Amino acid sequence: MNSAVLSFKTTHPFDGTETGVRADSRDTWQTPGILAAIERACDRIAPVWPLQQFVAVNPFLGLSERSFGDACTFSARMGQGEMLMPASFYAEHYRSGRIEESDVRQALQLAGSSMSLEQCLSLLHEASGQDFGLTGKRWQTLAEHLDAMRGSQWSVLITEEISKWCAAYFDQGQSAWRMPWRGLPLYAAWRRAAAFDRTPELAGLSAFRQTINALPEEPIEAITQILTEMGLPSARLDDACHRQLLTVAGWSSWVCYKHWQTSPEKNQDALRQLLAIRLSYDYALISAVASRQDVETWRGHWQDAPLTDTDTGVALEVRHIMQSAYELATQRPLFEKLASALASTGPWQAQRKNLQAVFCIDVRSEIYRRALEMQSHTIETLGFAGFFGFPIEYIALGHHHGQPQCPVLLKPRFRIRESVTDADVGELRGILEKRWLRKRLNRLWKGFKNSAVSCFSYVEISGLSFAGKLLSDSLGLTRPVVKPGIAGLDKAIVHRIGPVITRQRGRLIAKGPVVETGIALGDRIELARKALQGMSLTDGFARLVLLCGHGSTAVNNPYAAGLDCGACGGHSGEANARVAAAVLNDREVRAGLAAQGLTIPKDTWFVAGLHDTTTDEVRLFDLEQIPHCFGEDLLLLQRWLNQASQLTRQERAPGLGLPRHDAAALMKAVTQRSRDWSQIRPEWGLAGNTAFIAAPRQRTYHFEFDGRVFLHNYDYRQDSDTAILSLIMSAPMVVASWINLQYYASTVDNRRFGSGNKALHNVVGTIGILEGNGGDLRTGLPWQSLHDGKTLRHEPVRLTVVIEAPAEMIEQVLANHAEVRQLVDNHWLHLTRIDPLDNHCYRYLQPQHWQAVTDSGKES
């Protein structure tokens, strides 16, 4: 170890002992201050899920202990990204009348600012002609400092190099040749690879391989040695480490995800290793490039100092106030609707319904729910989390493990396997063997096509035979690739596949381990009870109850999974809907529920469905299991769904640039759009989301929210112990906030929080995308998912949460859930409530302090 330090000192341009810390002391490797700084830096990184399991993530997750205003300053100074729009954006909305003077006054009041309205508007006018963000200097790595001083490109080189090695290390089957050191920890694998890589030396980092080889083999020891030699102030070590990780922010987020569901300790260990790699490059710059003066100047920038100068701080304050005013302007029409008096009659007051349809709270369901309710006054729709309260791992036919079908904040509790209805053991074995054979042949064929030896001869010999397929795919007549869930299966078999909910033991694949699948009766009863209570559906059951999940149809789109569901790991709600319906139709489950006082009528049947949010078609499942006595009800349901689908497509058509007058032509157009492999906007996803409402449906039934609101059914009168409200605020509300903040961040600073131009995307390792052929792993949403080429399709506003419940119940949940209280108290979302007694809206300011909102949306 001493030789490593001596080797460093022979080329180091300054003596590390100037800081008062002995660089060659083993004790410094265990310095609590350095270790704590590393942990704090790693805690600020938010995870990012792989493309196939895309999850909308709050990119500010690691900053949630700060107030939103403080985080805006910190993020900009750290170089993490801008969290506010430029001043010109707010000035334009003020000039157009979207933001009114009353909104600015109220924003100043809520912020506790001493600034007058006139001062704020004057400063806004001055700032609107300035640059996008802070004018002060950002904290920099040594590479960034050298680039700024000398006009070099060390930062780009380092990011490219780290990204290259991370892509090889984490590859999940895309590359034909795999890194030989993947079995080693990340830092160790990188050191082995770096011993053969001459790229840094060719770029000017002399003796790079020898320098890296001289570093300690353990990442913590390497980090500690490098930080000690750099001599940065101890008060800034966490920020310095954070800044290092942000130069490879995408890969930092990926590494954070890798162990998200294992243990925090392993999660931190993986990030430490990436941090050691990044610091090693600055270490090499000190040895080979930077002068003593360079290092001392850079170190001086990290000395304790105010984050911003006075002028910059005032400009940032103005933008923050105008962001709040912009959000108040967005809230105004919402509060005007919610404050309206309830209609004297409504579908909830009619006699027994013919249909109750439970949809996911996803904002895209809001339009379809209105269209369906228009078909008859005997229809009632409800909003509930799209996994329907069944946290399962769903194992597809012929697989030995499955994917989690629940929000990432939860863990699957049960394994559900697929099987073929009415198939005996022999037929099932034959189906599985045929599927495995087809999949193996497909892999071999794909390997042959992509092989370095055969790829050119393959094109020469077989190219013309694919002309017909290329033409039909290009015209949207066929799907370029088969859906993974049905690959290798005959069409007749696909319609017979379904979940098995009963408890079983057996092998899922030949020679595989014996595993338990299904759900025990006691658990099925408990899941059914909690699901119905969460839906506020414990009595007044209709003859048919539709459990309608949602999914999306898109091809040649790396973000296709993100259009399925932004919460449930990029999976559609089909599996959950089918499992939930099967459980709720189970006679034994119904008997168990009746024993607990929850009776489902004998003439009620639960039907599973899936809403395709691209084509707005609804597909029903397991129809052959529905008793014949529901035949007429089922025909009526299918007619209602067809009519609702037409209305929904017509409402969405203008936003997609499609004609809306011809139903048949519109259906054809959206279907072709879903199959078009050149389509960068198959649908708008959750763009435009602004609010989350937890209230009875009658509160929102009469209003159009234009697909911008998450609607969750909640009746506080059925929640005496606040258990349901606790679940709503700690799970669906938090998930909605994650989705909202991902869209928000990708809009305000797409370069750092988004993924840029979708047309330039290249998939890397099947885990993420690069914009172009290099650079950091990109996170967030592409610009085409937020902007239609002329205007923003997503307004950058924080989520407005509206709950109909007494203040005491909401405050009790906040008191019991620190993370939820943090979101509210630090203004990452706006919490309001509807008082069930006086029908007025109140804004949460602090415990036991709610401010009334008038009918015009302004505070009284």
For residues 823-830, give the mean pLDDT. Answer: 97
* Averaged pLDDT for residues 487-492: 76
**Residue 397: is its pLDDT beyond 90?**
no
Mean pLDDT of 333-361: 76
At 564, the pLDDT band (50, 70, 90 cuts) reads confident
Average pLDDT of every residue of the chain: 87
- pLDDT tens, 106-150? 999 999 999 999 999 999 998 887 655 554 568 899 999 999 999
Buried-state track 472-485, b at ≥16 Cβ within 10 A, e below 16: ebeebeeeeeeeeb
Query: Is 344's pLDDT higher than 50?
Result: no
Confidence of residue 565 (pLDDT cuts 50, 70, 90): confident
Q: What is the pLDDT of residue 437?
A: 76
Report residue 466's pLDDT band, with 50, 70 and 90 as the boundaries. low
743-765 pLDDT tens trace: 999 999 999 999 999 999 999 99
Confidence of residue 5 (pLDDT cuts 50, 70, 90): very low
- Output the pLDDT for position 2: 36
> Is residue 744, in this structure, part of any structural domain at all?
no
How high is the pLDDT of residue 442?
A: 72
Residue 680 within a domain: no
What is the b/e burial string over 676-710, where b = at least 16 CB atoms within 10 angstroms of the residue's CB? beebbbbbbbbbbbbbbbbbbbebbbebebebbbb
Which range is least confidently modeled, 454-458, 585-589, 708-712? Answer: 454-458
pLDDT-based confidence at residue 858 (cuts at 50, 70, 90): low
Q: What's the whole-number mean pLDDT along residues 170-175?
A: 85
Which of the residue ranges 135-144, 196-205, 495-504 would you say has the lowest mean pLDDT? 135-144
Q: Is residue 682 part of a domain?
A: no
Least confident of 262-266, 387-391, 741-745: 262-266
Q: What number of other Cβ atoms are within 10 A of residue 549's Cβ?
A: 30
Q: Is 42 annotated as a binding residue?
A: no
More confident position, 430 or 45: 45
pLDDT at residue 710 above 50?
A: yes
Please say whether the beta carbons of 526 and 337 come within 8 A: no
Same domain, 152 and 276: yes
Count Cβ atoms within 10 A of the Cβ of residue 658 and give its class: 0-12 exposed, 13-18 middle, 19 or more buried. middle
| Cα–Cα nearest to 741, from 692, 705, 805 | 692
661 carries a ligand binding annotation: no
* Confidence (pLDDT) at 451: 65
Question: What is the domain count for the chain?
Answer: 4
Whether 856 has a pLDDT exceeding 60, the answer reads: no
Which secondary structure element, helix H or strand E, spans residue 372, and what is its range? helix 363-373
Q: Which pLDDT score, from 0 to 100, does residue 10 have?
A: 35
pTM of the model: 0.92
- Assigned token pair, 774: 């290099």
- Give yes or no for residue 12 having a pLDDT over 70: no
560 & 646 share domain:
yes
Q: Are residues 131 and 163 in the same domain?
A: no
| pLDDT at site 854 | 72
Q: What percent of the chain lies above the pLDDT cut of 90?
A: 67
Strands 497-500 and 504-507: unpaired
Stretch among 48-57, 245-254, 355-364, 434-443 having the lowest mean pLDDT: 434-443
DSSP 303-350: SS--SS-HHHHHHHHHHHHHHHHHHHHHHHHHHHHHTSPPPS--GGGS
Domain final residue, candidates 654, 675, 696: 675
Number of H helices, E strands in the chain: 33, 19
Q: Give the position of tokens 């885990």.
A: 767
What is the mean predicted confidence (pLDDT) over 199-221? 94
pLDDT digits (tens, 9 = 90+) for 275-325: 999 999 999 999 999 999 999 999 988 875 544 444 567 888 999 999 999
**Is residue 547 located within the same domain as residue 653?**
yes
Q: What is the DSSP secondary-structure string of 669-688?
A: HHHHHHH-TT-S-S--TTTT
The pLDDT of residue 139: 87
Q: What is the reported pLDDT for 782?
A: 96
Residues 218 and 327 in one domain: no
Q: What is the pLDDT of residue 182?
A: 87
Token pair, residue 694, equals 């937890």
User: Residue 695: inside a domain, yes or no?
Assistant: no
295 and 317 inside one domain: no
State whether 194 and 238 are in the same domain: yes
Flag whether 604 is in a domain.
yes
Higher pLDDT among residues 492 and 771, named by residue: 771
* Residue 818 maps to a domain: no
| Candidate from 306-315, 320-329, 510-519, 711-720 with smallest mean pLDDT | 306-315
CB atoms within 10 A of CB 564: 24
Looking at 610, 642, 675, which one is the last position of a domain?
A: 675
Phi, psi of 584 (to 5 degrees): -75, -20
For the record, the structure tokens of 752 come out as: 């750092």
Q: Quick one: DSSP state of residue 513?
A: P
Residue 132, SS3 per DSSP: coil
Tell me, yes or no, whether 571 and 663 share the same domain. Answer: yes
Query: Cβ(743)–Cβ(833) under 8 Å?
Result: no
Q: Is 241 annotated as contributing to ligand binding? A: no
So what's the pLDDT on residue 486? 72
Judge whether 301 is annotated as a binding position.
no
pLDDT over 70 at 24, yes or no = no
On the question of pLDDT at 85 being above 70, the answer is yes
Name the residue range of residue 27's domain.
2-59+140-301
Residue 400 near residue 512 (C-beta atoms within 8 A) = yes
Is the pLDDT reported for residue 8 higher than 60? Answer: no
pLDDT recorded at residue 252: 97
- Rounded mean pLDDT of 192-199? 92
The pLDDT, as a whole number, for residue 1 is 36
Band (476; pLDDT cuts 50, 70, 90): low
Mean pLDDT of 768-782: 94
Under the banding of pLDDT at 50, 70 and 90, the label for residue 11 is very low
The packing angle between helices 219-230 and 237-246, to 10°, is 120
pLDDT, tens digit, 9 for 90 and up, residues 612-667: 999 999 999 999 999 999 999 999 999 999 999 999 999 999 999 998 878 999 99
Exposed/middle/buried for 336, CB within 10 Å: 0-12, 13-18, 19+?
Answer: middle
pLDDT, tens only, 138-153: 889 999 999 999 999 9
pLDDT value at position 33?
Answer: 85
Residues 321 and 447 in one domain: no
770 is a domain residue: no
- pLDDT for the residue numbered 578: 96
Instruction: Report which DSSP code applies to 490.
Output: -
Q: Which pLDDT does position 860 carry in this prediction?
A: 54
pLDDT at 30: 47
Domain boundary residue among 652, 675, 698?
Answer: 675
Tell me if 508 sits within 8 A of 399, measured CB to CB: yes
Question: Residue 340 in contact with residue 531, Cβ under 8 Å?
Answer: no
* CA–CA distance, 37 with 58 (Å, rounded to integer): 23
Are 531 and 641 found together in one domain? yes
Residue 450 confidence (pLDDT) above 70:
no
pLDDT band at 17 (very low <50, low <70, confident <90, very high): very low
- Number of residues assigned to the chain: 860
CA dist 695 and 712 (Å) reads 7
Same domain flag for 150 and 132: no
pLDDT(700) > 60: yes
358 with 465, same domain? Answer: no
Is residue 727 assigned to a domain?
Answer: no
* φ, ψ at 832 (rounded to 5°): -135, 165
- pLDDT, one tens digit per residue, over 583-620 is 999 999 999 999 999 999 999 999 999 999 999 999 99
